[in-house]
Amino acid sequence: IFKNDINPNVLAYEPSPGKMTELFQSGQAVIAVWGSGRVQSFANTGFPVDFVYPKEGAATLLTTACPIAKPNASPLASSFVKVLLDPKIQLVMLKDYGYGPVLKSLVISPELGKMAPIGERAAKLYNPDWTVINDKREEWTKRWNRE
């Protein structure tokens, strides 16, 4: 399907966010598969861009913070995680980076959460099985590069 039906309509499979931004700005690209956080950051520059979720839902791209659980771990690690969970910081992460807040009690205006994975969009997110993906990654990458 990719080789015969999709590839003829694709300018580039661009892995660099900076280069992808240039393609949009120059008008060479008008549509792309991109993360909501990238689109939010681009929109924050004033570029007229929007994000559309597939009706079936979208794959998750998660950002995590985990303090190391061992006796000599710095207490600053837990303090940092607590700061990340502060409602004000959650709103900054939403506004500036398009990250869906983890605090379900957070009140978000419709305009502020326009692109973020919140509400029904969050409920439809798909978590890929990274064990399967990582096991097949080399094989799939070789096939992708070949085809």
What backbone phi and psi angles, to 5 degrees, belong to 129?
Answer: -85, 95
Look at residue 33 and tell me if it is in a domain: no
Tell me, what's the pLDDT at 144?
A: 84
The residue segments making up the domain with residue 68 are: 56-145
Look at residue 15 and tell me if it is in a domain: no
Look at residue 116 and tell me if it is in a domain: yes
Look at residue 95 and tell me if it is in a domain: yes
Look at residue 36 and tell me if it is in a domain: no
Look at residue 111 and tell me if it is in a domain: yes
Predicted structure pTM score:
0.78
Tens of pLDDT along 84-113?
999 999 999 999 999 999 998 999 988 888
Tens of pLDDT along 108-136?
988 888 899 998 999 999 999 999 999 99
Look at residue 42 and tell me if it is in a domain: no
Look at residue 4 and tell me if it is in a domain: no
Q: How many domains does the chain have?
A: 1
